[in-house]
Chains A and B, each alone.
Chain A
Amino acid sequence: ELVLTQSPGTLSLSPGETATLSCRASDSVSERYLTWYQHKPGQAPRLLIYGASSRAPGIPDRFSGSGSGTDFTLTISRLEPEDFAVYYCQHYAGSPTWTFGPGTKVEI
């Protein structure tokens, strides 16, 4: 069973700083299915990155994804006030099924 672990659990930063979020898979996975979402209270999750590094349409270029194998990173440069949210990674876990990480909260 594929398990995604995200760290840190909470990241406390100020606007203008850079956030570096980690997603680690329990087994080596394909970048093809590694996806990142942003989730704010009372809203639906929003797709940020697919294929580990491709930005979804309309996503600002301050959001970037990288990684391969078991280690993936979401970097948010020049944090804006609207970027404070919870971020989840997701991957196809076979069977077929999908699994999400537990999330990283980016707070002021």
Chain B
Amino acid sequence: VKLLQSGPGLVRPSQTLSLTCDISGDGVASITAAWNWIRQSPSRGLEWLGRTSYRSGWQNDYGVSVKGRITITPDSSKNQISLQLNSVTPEDTAVYYCARGSYSGNWAYYYGFDVWGQGTTVTVSS
């Protein structure tokens, strides 16, 4: 399984940060996976942003710190997920990662974020 991230490295303040994560070797609608976005910055460390998963329908969950500004969208036709973060400020400057959360078939067991994208350095600056 591989995750390949793409998107701009520079975003202007108040604009929207947009990243995509192409999935190969697994399906975005896999019932044993959740597809997450995480970021890392010197000031905030590793911060979970949100996830999308398919269990009898699509379900999205978002972190409190970015709720209201974040949208994660799955695209089954392209087998990818996307991240949109609105109204960015310099505080959103970070390395952004997508990662697969792996589960057993009934989600009774959790096997960690076992596959990660390569990371995208995003700078918010005018």
List A residues at the B interface (Cβ < 8 Å): 32-33, 35, 37, 39, 43-47, 49-51, 56, 88, 90, 92, 95-103
Choose, from B10-18, B77-85, B108-116, the stretch at the interface: B108-116
Q: Is the CB of A32 within 8 A of B109?
A: yes
- A44 and B63 within 8 A (CB): no
Question: Hey, which chain B residues are within 8 Å of A92, CB to CB?
Answer: 110
Query: How far does the alpha carbon of A35 sit from the alpha carbon of B99 in the complex, in Å?
Result: 14
Contact A47 B61 (CB under 8 A): no
Query: Which of B23-31, B45-53, B68-76, B86-94 lies at the interface?
Result: B45-53
Bound: A43/B109 CA distance, A = 27
**A-B pair number, CB within 8 angstroms:** 63
Flag if A102 contacts B45 (CB, 8 Å). Answer: yes
Contacts A45-B97, A96-B61, A97-B64 given: A51-B109 contact, CB under 8 Å? yes
Nearest-neighbour CB distance to chain A for B23, whole angstroms, equals: 15
Q: Once the chains bind, are B63 and A100 in contact (CB under 8 Å)?
A: no
What B residues does A46 contact at CB under 8 A?
A: 116
C-alpha spacing A99/B46, complex, angstroms: 8
Given A95-B64, A96-B61, decide whether A44 and B117 contact each other with a Cβ distance below 8 A.
yes
Q: Which of B61, B112, B119 has the most CB of A within 10 A?
A: B112
Whether B113 lies near A99 (C-beta < 8 A) is: no
Q: Using Cβ atoms and an 8 Å threshold, which residues of chain A touch B114? A: 47, 50, 56
Q: Distance (Å) between the CB of A29 and the closest chain B CB? A: 12
The 8 closest A-B pairs by CB, nearest first: A44-B116, A50-B112, A100-B46, A98-B48, A47-B112, A35-B112, A47-B114, A96-B61
Contact check, A56 vs B117: say whether CB atoms are below 8 A apart.
Answer: no
> Which residue in B47, B110, B116, B117 is a CB contact (below 8 Å) of A51?
B110
CB neighbours of B110 from chain A (8 A): 32-33, 35, 50-51, 92
